[in-house]
Structure 1
């Protein structure tokens, strides 16, 4: 694993650096393989990044968009990660509808929808059950509690090793999420983290020894590149 830590002066610089890195990785993937697969994160931090990507002149037909996790709500719901990304980016560009691969949340059964999305991923990436496809880019955030995607502290989802998609749990609310092994298969994982409230968890995530089940972001150790992009408020005490 190739790990890079960068601390940027402020949130604006963090978003600009994230944009540069994502564009570079997109262009490299398209040059090498003819397409780019990217999984998006939710939350407030990446929204300005998506708005900036929407302003670029990119070969949209060669970019396929996935989500690392999704709240179990309809895509029209204000809390939906899909809705946020569509408003900020995907609805603003001529990307083919077939290139957008949201997590299904409509059956009323999260486990059933997790199975459905896993089958969709296997079909798209031409993988067999038990195989983990390599996405080009997975964007991640980190919560104050050290969670990432919908891998929350001390939840069953952390233990899932044989699936691509599982059901996460936040205070009794189900979510769909990439599993740690799927994230770790990625060619590039990029954490984008802002705010002083993240410092205590970051100290544990970066510690030589700490509890992975308490700080799930520690589980993310991809076979490709791992980038931690932090603003000064979050990363002041972190040495790359």
Structure 2
């Protein structure tokens, strides 16, 4: 187990620490490989982080943004993870449009959209079918139920191990999501989790033995860095 956990005093400190870690890894990736690839998460927690990143002076032409999951709604829908990230960060910096790689949500069949995004990842990272690319930074959140990305408890997406991208489901509504093996191939997986409502799930996710299908964040066991940043409300019982 290579997981590291930091509990920060409040949400402000959580976002500041998240910013420090993300910037350090972005700069290291650019220095070592000439570019940084980052997968973004949705939800309310990362929005202030994105706003802070947007205020930085970075070589944006060397940054490529992907998404770890997406609700199956149009790109301009209020629930779109892409829309949130664009408004909070990407539209505010001079990042080339071709460096932004949103998940498609305009196919009649979400499975076709998942196939298209998998093909885009394979082409960008120049990996063959069956191989997993390595993203530099994988930002993850966690829901009250222990899900991460759109890997929800007891859904078929949890069992997909031979794909990069698959169709997730929440309450019967489709999502597009990275698979657990793809997330686990990242150089850095960074969970940013806030709120007292996460305490119960965290206890199960961090337990030495528990049910991965019930608490899908347990499936994330990367060989690279595995960092959890929690605010005091979420992490005080750990």
TM class, shorter-length: over 0.9
- Count of residues paired in the alignment: 238
Question: 1:82 and 2:95 equivalent?
Answer: no
Q: Distance in 2 between matches of 1:21 and 1:4?
A: 13
Deviations 1:185-226 (A, max 9, x none): 000000000000000000000000100000000000011000
Provide the secondary structure at the position in 2 that maps to 1:175. Answer: strand
Deviations 1:105-132 (A, max 9, x none): 0012100000000000000000000000
Q: Which residue of 1 aligns with 2:214?
A: 214
Structure 2 unaligned blocks of 5 or more = none
Provide the secondary structure at the position in 2 that maps to 1:237. Answer: coil
Deviations 1:122-156 (A, max 9, x none): 00000000000000000000000000000000000
Q: Distance in 2 between matches of 1:3 and 1:205?
A: 12
Measured after TM superposition, the shift of residue 3 of structure 1 is: 1.7
Q: Which residue of 2 aligns with 1:166?
A: 166
Measured after TM superposition, the shift of residue 2 of structure 1 is: 2.9
Q: After TM superposition, which residue ranges in structure 1, 4 or more long, deviate above 3 angstroms?
A: none
Question: 1:99 and 2:99 equivalent?
Answer: yes
Aligned runs of 1:1-240 on 2, under 5 Å? 2-238=2-238
Q: TM-score, normalised by structure 1?
A: 0.99
Provide the secondary structure at the position in 1 that maps to 2:119. Answer: helix
Q: Distance in 2 between matches of 1:2 and 1:172?
A: 35
Measured after TM superposition, the shift of residue 32 of structure 1 is: 0.4
Q: Distance in 2 between matches of 1:86 and 1:94?
A: 12
Provide the secondary structure at the position in 2 that maps to 1:130. Answer: coil
Q: Distance in 2 between matches of 1:125 and 1:2?
A: 26
Structure 1 unaligned blocks of 5 or more = none
Q: Distance in 1 between matches of 2:116 and 2:72?
A: 14
Measured after TM superposition, the shift of residue 167 of structure 1 is: 0.2
Measured after TM superposition, the shift of residue 4 of structure 1 is: 1.1
Measured after TM superposition, the shift of residue 237 of structure 1 is: 1.2
TM-align CA RMSD: 0.5
